[in-house]
A and B are shown apart, each in its own frame.
Chain A
């Protein structure tokens, strides 16, 4: 444990380092000064780090704590599983945040948060003082909810956090014999990326149709129906993948047997050649270090004007970890939008000004139903001051009328632009 003197020393060094970064920087337009620590370099955290520096004209110091060496994108990762993209296509460096934007990068993990003292403890880099803390931890899995899954994620991958798990599921699919069964399980909502599992089913079926046409995709859904873009995915299942893909709603997974890759459901057991279980999810574990109860023991409640966690001052939380506003999806796009709300609010607050009272966020989500055809869902959410939350605008948003090739172009462009918006 650090004693008080050690801590002061560490804090002093951190402050000196911070000054070195910002020593020649001009004061931000609205005069915000201070040190913001961002934990988690995904769609929310990376965007927040960049925009805090950009919008303050480098007036505030920003440290990004991230455990992985590179960013790997969940959006587009289903294309890697289908064999239509490589891992390198969905991997982006953090270097620009440091070199272009002056963000201090720490490859580390948080081991404790002391919100009263405004400091966090890191596994490798000691303690870090902050004026504002942003947690963008994404989701963690409730592995224990599925019997037999613990310790078997190499045999039964989730591939629901992009990275080695994505490559692993692709390898398993490639190694599967023609005539084999690829079974995937979708947990009860809410989960990260509502259309994601159905897009994955399409990408796997597309690969099998082309390369192993005697095989089957079984989509075992704990939910009663497809959770997003229902009509569009139903059409894809029934037309593109008729005879290859079978969608089975109301099938909640109880346990698995890793040795035989068998899924034990309520009414039957399914033995598969490749078993892809997407486990139930909750806010990333770091949120349990805040001294507040999570909603349903799973999600963080925030003040939407500032993204500040309810019950903890100066700690802001973004992205999939949140208990969402009405109809707000758990998506990378939405985390990016929330990050900008938080960045703007934090810069105002550090300058002694109130946060923007009328923020807007919007969501665009493209899904591939085959390698060349894409469908979208979009929504716009305006802040409602009487209800203190974001509400979807009636008459706005909606779906593609049908899968189409033009939107495949836009989907690829979306990925390029959002990755650049976070990391370039």
Chain B
């Protein structure tokens, strides 16, 4: 706080993760859950949440081994420099592409609900402009903004969900778990896990957390796991309410269930007739968080790879790339295809496979180093 704008506290990290993952994932989550398991979609979401918590645990364990180090740095250390750089580039590509797809979907939604005739480029460019501004200000500002936005939007969202629940027919969830087919549920949980994308960004944050050096892992790991749990709980709640309100059949066919949910709420007193525009406020903030994170972390990766302090340049490049890629797909269906592809390749890789690899390699290296040093120690005494 009294330092320069580069370190954030664990609390702010939690706020950032919540805003990113929940905002990016929740809009289509109920539909994916309904597609995977119909009425029992909520159970699938619970399974995915568990998976996400596991991934986060693995990722945060890296903090114990490499406190305060950037991703490219520690992967270079363990897996040799070229591979480290390659991994960094891969993550860079993943972040850019998924941010671009997210932006594209968002602009589609804005076009359909709020601004029918404004060119998509303008919508995207303005959102990216805000993201660039925030990224330029530094990590600490990002953390603070996340705290403020969460402070404003979380109670609102909670109220909306509760209002929706008041009106929902929970018998739509019955009969519960009658068709439970374990394989299908597990397969479904991986598909639904797509909605938890964003967790792999935690690989990059270790140098920027303001916890005491030794206590970094001790502070980060439980906090992140708790956050993943919280997000999971919120997603489950959203799925349950959406299923209750619309029924699994209708839910499967809705493009953006959460949006429809917000639209279908009856405000007591009914001062406001249709409130889908107001709900967009929440969503604009979370997409902003996503864009912001995308630009910031991709610029960070570029800095780690090229080792030069051209912050403005990196941010401009990332922003331009994201804008360009967002304009490319021809239709929304294509966007979802791309997202699925990216998730099954890069996403899964960075969420769990690569962290595991790094941990295993680190443990191997450490045991080698132990043997080596004890050997040297003996020879030293002999001399």
Q: Is B one of A's binding partners? A: no
Chain A contact residues, CB within 8 Å of chain B = none
Chain B contact residues, CB within 8 Å of chain A = none
